[in-house]
Amino acid sequence: VVSTQSTGYGSGHTDVIVTECDKASKEFLSSVDSACVFVNCSSRFSDGYRFGLGAEVGISTSRIHARGPVGIQGLLTTKWTLVGKGQTVHEFTAGEKRKSFVFQELPILEGENANQQLDELDSDSDSEYGSDSDSDSDSTAGDAQ
């Protein structure tokens, strides 16, 4: 895999890789410097409403856009990562079996154990919300995170 950071390419907004290689996906997630970095899912998931932020009032590719007196929140940026199994936004917008978005607080992962913590969250999500092999499942949150 060639990271967009090392080549100078990348949108700064949303970048996606489609791969079956776990090593490539993990390298992509950790090395790409964009607000949204996704693996094996549609870039259309990059939306403020879908992230639980409410209606979007603007889009920025700048790293820091604060002005005037600034608290700690004004100095922080967010990197949204999404690992899917081929999901598209259409699954959440149309049809009788339409899936719903589930908004929940997730822990902040940091340090040397972040990848292990992420793997544990992923396996918890699969068991709690059903696996993708069950196509008739009413699964919602595991697919949208």
pLDDT digits (tens, 9 = 90+) for 36-60: 999 999 999 888 888 878 777 777 7
At residue 145, the pLDDT reads: 35
Q: How confident is the model at residue 74 (pLDDT cuts 50, 70, 90)?
A: confident
At residue 119, the pLDDT reads: 72
Residue % of the chain over a pLDDT of 70:
70
pTM strictly above 0.75:
no
Q: Is 54 left (phi over 0), alpha (psi -120 to 50) or beta?
A: left
Quick one: tokens of 68? 């005037």
Quick one: tokens of 4? 């967009």
Distances (CA, A) of 21 to 39, 49, 124: 10, 30, 21
